[in-house]
Structure 1
Amino acid sequence: MTAGTEVSVDLLVVGAGPTGLYAAYYAGFRGMSVAVADALPEVGGQIAALYPEKLVYDVAGFPAVRGQDLVDRLAEQAGRWNPVYLLGHGVTDLDDTGAGVVATTDAGARISAGAVLVCGGIGNFIPRELPVGSEYLGRGLRYFVPRLDELAGQDVVVVGGGDSALDWALSLEPVAASVTLVHRRTRFRAHERTVEQVGNSSVRVLTPYEVEKISGNGADGNGGAVSEVVVASSDGDRITLPAQSVVAALGFIADLGPIERWGLDLRRRRILVDRTMRTSRERVFAAGDIADYDGRVGLISIGFGEAALAVNHVAALLDPARSLTPGHSSDA
């Protein structure tokens, strides 16, 4: 879709990640026309952009599924209803028309919709930077690993103590020459099962240690690509590790971007919704990681349920004669 594009649909889904793709399928199932807008140039959201090769274990029906494979299945499912995709289109403004909403994108498109379902992640994610070694970014230092084979045969140092850090360490173990996990605390913030898996793996775990210095293979010791990492403990112990790659999995800082200007009630940089997934703004709903309510659990599977819930209420909003209860898909 190019600048000047005008689209008219029943429902605009903002965000083409897993929740947004499932929302597009489910809205089609409920008989609605759908457009899906996303600032990224391809569907899949953060999964496709940041960790397409990581295995996901908590999606119903899949004992384990590669991130990109999950995205491909969801896109295939949504494709049954031929949604209009506006990729490379970040939604910047939402204007009420009385009978619907008009969305404007940063690529110059206008989408008229009866309702909007915001399914983005938590806005734009800015990685928390490692305090040292920034000059090696792109030359061995990275904040995520879209393709595991890029690090095949390398000595890799993973820094962090959350789920992402431990997941990267486990995912890289079969392909890297060696993997060392460095965390500044003795306790991890990751899932207990993941911590246990790392403990039973060949990953070397150094806690409590922090990265003190990153050195390169340039003639002056500071240029070139990463060649070694010095880590230090709180009591002054230092270890020099050979490394061709450093994965700094220190988490991300959320930047909501234009969403902050949409007049929605926010909490903890997420959009507050009620039990029907309605926001504080008429005809605007939210589902997935961007949504917040008391007791919410941040799982992909939860996002799928929220998308279905929102779509059913949108269906009844757009056509009061339409039943809120969709019936069984096997009877369709």
Structure 2
Amino acid sequence: MTDVYDITIIGAGPIGLFAAFYAGMRGAKTKIIDSLPQIGGQLATLYPEKLIYDAPGFATIKAIELIENLDQQLEKFNHDFVLEEEVVDLIAHEDFVEIVTNQGLHFSKSVILALGNGSFQPRRLNLPLADDLENHGLDYYVNDLQKYAGQRVAIAGGGDSAIDWALMLEPIAAEVHLIHRRPEFRGHEHSVNLLEKSSINILTPYVIESLQAQEGELTAIDLQKVKADDVLQVPIDHLIVNYGFSSSLEHLKNWGLETQRNSILVNSDMSTNIPGVYAAGDITQYQGKVKLIATGLGEAPTAVNNALHYINPKNRTQPMHSTSLFAEK
């Protein structure tokens, strides 16, 4: 058996990141596991430009900025991150929990589930060459905006996320095309207004008919106009497909967790029915639960404190104030 951590947090969204920060404040040896290739969960992946109104201390803050702030908080701690691994099972033993992922095993004295709305995967293109061109010009995630600097970029999708990425890439890329199969976009009115005033080339109503490549790299896309014979070829360097994501929480019951309406039932200390396993954020359910980011941020320290008390009853469930924890000695 490899290293056993004090706390393993499953989910690197805002609640998981804040739980990791608080675990660091308590001196816990901590690991964070997420199925996505980047931290931030749905906020960073799907809605980076979305304005958040329920984050304490901010009148409004963009989703991506909230994630960046949480990441900055974590810099003072040497936590271990494991990305692009999906948890498929939890097995509780007497002194530890075995975490089974699609790539291996992890061991922890306690676990905090910060799953949000569940692990999710992008809806991929069902076209010849699509699988081969993934990460060779065809992307489903945006990990680094500078990757597209000076490049010809096309974005496929009609929701907030696609519009957000197009607007963010406009000042960076050489040219940006936004492709949608309907004449109207589903985004917020403010974002759509910004889109219409931008230099982004809006291609509607079109669908991607085929992909073109040379030497294993994407070079162009062929577009078919909906309900018409028009075909348009667009030379590009990158295609970002944003057709949404599919998520599932059905596996929670298979783990032995007590659930209700795709949520995990927890007690006031955020414990689940499995000893050593706690939960926080939108994934949880209890009487009077309000599903807000602010609520989850409050649940995270409660889960951490009680998880540490579980693995060592001498650990205080009500530690010193944060100003005392970080006071210079």
Structure 2 length-normalised TM: 0.71
Q: Which runs of 5+ in 1 are unaligned?
A: none
2:234 is matched with which residue: 220, 226, 242?
Answer: 242
C-alpha distance in structure 1 between counterparts of 2:317 and 2:211, whole Å: 64
Matched with 1:74 is: 73
C-alpha distance in structure 1 between counterparts of 2:43 and 2:61, whole Å: 20
For residues 323 and 309 of structure 1, do their structure 2 counterparts lie closer, same or farther at Cα, with a shift above 3 Å needed? closer
Mapped pair 1:125 → 2:120: yes
C-alpha distance in structure 1 between counterparts of 2:285 and 2:202, whole Å: 35
Q: Which letter maps to 2:247?
A: A
User: Any idea what the Cα deviations from partners look like across 1:100-151, whole Å, max 9, x if unmatched?
Assistant: 65234554443223xx311245554321123445546334332122222333
Look up the SS of the partner of 1:184 in the other structure.
Answer: coil
2:218 is matched with which residue: 219, 222, 225?
Answer: 225
C-alpha distance in structure 1 between counterparts of 2:315 and 2:14, whole Å: 30
Mapped pair 1:251 → 2:244: yes
C-alpha distance in structure 2 between counterparts of 1:17 and 1:134, whole Å: 32
Matching of residues 152-231 of structure 1 within 5 Å: 152-207=149-204, 209-216=205-212, 225-231=218-224
Matched with 2:138 is: 141
Q: Which letter maps to 1:147?
A: D
User: Any idea what the Cα deviations from partners look like across 1:291-311, whole Å, max 9, x if unmatched?
Assistant: 467875565x55423313433
RMSD: 4.3
Segment of structure 1 superposing worse, 274-283 or 18-27: 274-283
Q: Which letter maps to 1:164?
A: S
Please say if residues 101 and 112 of structure 1, whose CA atoms lie closer than 8 Å, have aligned partners that are also in contact.
yes
1:102 is matched with which residue: 97, 109, 127?
Answer: 97
Please say if residues 271 and 292 of structure 1, whose CA atoms lie closer than 8 Å, have aligned partners that are also in contact.
yes
How far 1:26 sits from its partner (Å)? 1.8
User: Any idea what the Cα deviations from partners look like across 1:246-279, whole Å, max 9, x if unmatched?
Assistant: 2110111225596553112346655354665443
How far 1:204 sits from its partner (Å)? 3.2
Please say if residues 56 and 67 of structure 1, whose CA atoms lie closer than 8 Å, have aligned partners that are also in contact.
no
C-alpha distance in structure 1 between counterparts of 2:299 and 2:222, whole Å: 44
C-alpha distance in structure 2 between counterparts of 1:302 and 1:121, whole Å: 12
User: Any idea what the Cα deviations from partners look like across 1:282-324, whole Å, max 9, x if unmatched?
Assistant: 442222454467875565x554233134335556767599566
Please say if residues 223 and 232 of structure 2, whose CA atoms lie closer than 8 Å, have aligned partners that are also in contact.
yes
For residues 212 and 102 of structure 1, do their structure 2 counterparts lie closer, same or farther at Cα, with a shift above 3 Å needed? closer
Q: Which runs of 5+ in 2 are unaligned?
A: none
Look up the SS of the partner of 1:33 in the other structure.
Answer: coil
Please say if residues 126 and 252 of structure 1, whose CA atoms lie closer than 8 Å, have aligned partners that are also in contact.
yes
How far 1:90 sits from its partner (Å)? 6.3
For residues 292 and 144 of structure 1, do their structure 2 counterparts lie closer, same or farther at Cα, with a shift above 3 Å needed? farther
Overall identity of the aligned pairs, in %: 32
Structure 1 length-normalised TM: 0.71
Please say if residues 163 and 191 of structure 2, whose CA atoms lie closer than 8 Å, have aligned partners that are also in contact.
yes
Q: Which letter maps to 2:123?
A: R
Matched with 2:20 is: 24
Matched with 1:285 is: 278
Look up the SS of the partner of 1:225 in the other structure.
Answer: strand
Please say if residues 16 and 300 of structure 2, whose CA atoms lie closer than 8 Å, have aligned partners that are also in contact.
yes
